[in-house]
Amino acid sequence: MVLAVMLLVVTILCAIAVFRELKSKNLFAVAFAGASTLAFGWFSVMTIYAELFTNH
């Protein structure tokens, strides 16, 4: 569960980076921060799902 929380924190930081770079109009950084947000968000949601709803 610690991994899921760490991934969720990284996702939140990436989402903050997306908005910060949109404000400065740096589209290259927006693309990478957005891709990172999607990837880390997916991994955090699936890790939480695996921890809660699957049998170990």
Q: Which domain holds residue 34?
A: 2-53
Residues 22, 24, 25: CA angle, nearest 5 degrees: 60
Give the pLDDT confidence of 1-56 residue by residue, as tens digits.
899 999 999 999 999 999 999 999 999 999 999 999 999 999 999 999 999 998 76
Instruction: State how many domains the chain has.
Output: 1
What is 6-49 written as a DSSP string?
Answer: HHHHHHHHHHHHHHHHHHTT-HHHHHHHHHHHHHHHHHHHHHHH
Q: Show the tokens assigned to 41.
A: 């968000």
Instruction: Tell me the pTM.
Output: 0.85
Q: What is the pLDDT of residue 55?
A: 77
Cα torsion 32, 33, 34, 40: sign: positive
